[in-house]
Structure 1
């Protein structure tokens, strides 16, 4: 039986591993060796990684790949992608190449407004609350002057504060809905700091508001936090070309265009398909977000909420084939940063920004939206032609071979054999067994 540990975070990395080994790994020396193999030999670099989070015991590596030939607004990019799924980088590269001589990708940042809320309870006279908010609003804004001084110098800061009556959804529930512009910073820490000061000012000043004192009903702050739902921080990416240029895999352009349009319509019609459809989009989005040190969990949450904004979960991409022109586009809410956080610390994140020609936050929004659109196009192209598994399993072949501890000779023979045979786990197992026998 394992007993609770006290002061674990104060132990050295060696001591943490020793405790884990003694209590969970039965002294498994092989596991300890593996953990240490992933330590960086550069002590300063390892210390940097150790300090990113608490209780670090090793590093967890994911492949860092690149997808070239992305023509975005007439500029050629190579996209950095951090992901473990076999076919994602290949699919993105293929989509980039497909659209390279058809005008490439066109993008537009629509809005860049971010938001956060002070959530509070109030069970008194709503007229009194509205009067109080009208009176206190200038003080709430001035209360964060010190916090937003530098942000305002960079063209950002608080845009507005709005009182939201949400009592129809929850009895006694109100919000101070605050909107912000944060420039090239993702802005989470800035927004949260502002919200907490606004909340404190709102609560403290309410104690001297006479109508509240008479009724003995005061606003009660529950919490203050930014929102990762950012439908006003929106970017659009699009590709288009004459239908006649779309011939692929034995299909004429019109047939292929109609199949893509129909596939998107199906994803719009049913959440069961839409979830997988959008997951494919996020394969591309998340891979570039990770490579640039941004928060993929926040983006995932916001994007999927956006896919449900009209009351039903649906496709994030859209397609049309009208008057001889095929169009395929996406609109995504993306709150991203190119300064702050890991963007200034992680060496590979710095490399990613150099590779992307040092984009600002708006340009990064555009690049990442393109990655999602390209990934979705590649997936739909496979689905409506040869099927998703043919290409995916070809890419997955090496993972299966590595799982079977295949030798280099066995790998080369398998790669050659499966050029003309369907890849499946059982087929690869049988092939390697036959080689060894």
Structure 2
């Protein structure tokens, strides 16, 4: 049984690796060898990666792929995607090619407001708290001036500070609800620094207030933190074309295909079990680009799923309609992204990904990411309502199955060719490989 350890963070990298291998793996020497195989030969680059997080042992690789041929707002893009799941890049590329000759994708940023809150408890007269807040509100701006100076000079900064009464939800609970514009930075550190200063100002001014009574001056700040729910930091991506231009090479007529797409999205709007899987496919595209560009995909996931539930039940993130002979397919999602600061200026592949994307600003990146999600969803739903999802997915998954079975390069080549014309179920692949080896 492994034993607890004191001071693990103070061990050298080699000592950490030796300890974890000996305490938690069956073959320590093989585990150590595996860990070191994933080190970068460039020691300076490896040190950079080591310092991104704490207690680093090695690097955990994800494939970085490219989905080309995205026509977005009249510009042609090749979109970098970091993801481990087969068929995602292929599906995005397929959708990009489909819409390339049908007008491409259009995007619009509907808002860039980000939110932070100071959560506090106040046990006193609400009217006096409101009067006190109005009196000290200018001091929140004044006492964060040193923090906001550079951001304000670039056109961003604090947009508003509100006092919100939340006592119907929780006894004595109030908050400072604050909005920010952080321009091309994701802005987490900026927002949190402002919020912590707001909290200090709130408590200091309460203690010296002539408006609050003595029993009301002891305001308890519980926490000061940004919110990853940003429903006013919103982007829209859309495609549209004449229904007849959808073509008829999917086994059904263009109108039947359009109607099936609309019905599939409608089902995801009323059935949460379907909506979750529907939106998971959207996030395949979104997360892959967010990760490739050094942004926080966990924050993006949390905010988007909250947005999908904003009407009281979990719904589709995409919408579709047929109107006046036109097919319309679109998505509106909240996205708080950055193109400066954090990993965007540190990770070499993040910098390369942003260069491939033609060095977008934050608004442009919002549009690109939304397009990736919309394209992924279009490709998935297109497959679902025509051939079914497994035909394409299993063919993309074929190499994974063959690698699991230690197929040789020659075997892979023959079987990839074979399954171009046959259904690539796991059982069928195993059987085909066994037959091939039997013939050999």
TM-score, normalised by the number of residues in structure 1: 0.98
Are 1:51 and 2:60 counterparts? no
Tell me which residue corresponds to 2:261: 260
In structure 2, what is the Cα distance between the partners aligned to 1:324 and 1:280?
28
What are the Cα deviations for residues 132-170 of structure 1, in whole angstroms up to 9, with x where unaligned? 101110111111000011111111100110000111111
Please give the alpha-carbon distance, in whole angstroms, between the structure 1 residues aligned to 2:222 and 2:232.
25
> Which residue matches 1:115?
115
Provide the C-alpha distance between the structure 2 equivalents of 1:68 and 1:46, rounded to a whole number of angstroms: 30
Q: CA deviation at 1:373?
A: 0.4
Distance 1:390 1:27, change over 3 A: closer
Corresponding residue number in structure 2 for 1:357: 358
The within-5 A match list for 1:32-431 is 32-216=32-216, 218-247=218-247, 248-431=249-432
Cα gap change, 1:206/1:422 in structure 2, threshold over 3 Å: closer, same or farther?
Answer: same
The structure-2 alpha-carbon separation of the partners of 1:21 and 1:379, relative to structure 1 and needing over 3 Å to count, comes to same
Alpha-carbon RMSD across the aligned residues, in angstroms, is 1.0
- Tell whether the 8 Å contact from 1:212 to 1:218 is kept in structure 2 after alignment: no
CA contact (8 A) 1:92 1:375 kept: yes
Which structure 2 residue ranges, 5 or more long, are not aligned? none
The reply on whether 1:12 has 2:12 as its aligned counterpart is: yes
- The answer to whether the 8 Å contact 1:207/1:213 transfers is no
Length, aligned pairs only:
437
Q: 1:269·1:314 contact (CA, 8 Å) conserved in 2?
A: yes
Map Cα deviations across residues 290-310 of structure 1 (whole Å, 9 max, x no partner).
110000000000000000111
- 1:174-228, Cα deviation, whole Å (9 max, x unpaired): 1100100101000000000000000011011101223434434532110000000
DSSP 3-state at the match of 1:229: coil
**Aligned equivalents of 1:156 and 1:35: distance in 2?**
44
Give the distance between the partners of 1:115 and 1:21, measured in 2 at CA.
43
In 1, the alpha carbon distance for the partners of 2:183 and 2:73 equals: 21
Task: Sort the Cα spacing of 1:127 and 1:119 in 2 relative to 1 into closer, same or farther, 3 A.
Answer: same
Secondary structure of residue in 2 paired with 1:337:
coil
What CA distance in whole angstroms lies between the structure 2 residues aligned with 1:398 and 1:214?
A: 72
TM-score (norm. length: structure 2):
0.98
1:409 offset after TM fit, Å?
1.4
Query: Any idea what SS the aligned residue of 2:228 has?
Result: coil
Q: Distance in 1 between matches of 2:301 and 2:56?
A: 25
Cα distance in 2 between the residues matched to 1:8 and 1:214: 48
Q: Secondary structure at the match of 1:395?
A: helix
Secondary structure, aligned partner of 2:234: strand
The equivalent residue for 1:436 is 437
Aligned-partner Cα distance in 1 for 2:435–2:15: 46
2 CA distance for matches of 1:27 and 1:386?
A: 46
Residues 391 and 11 (structure 1 numbering): CA distance in 2 closer, same or farther, change over 3 Å? same
Within 2, Cα distance between the matches of 1:432 and 1:49?
40
Deviations 1:40-81 (A, max 9, x none): 011111000000000110100000000100000100000000
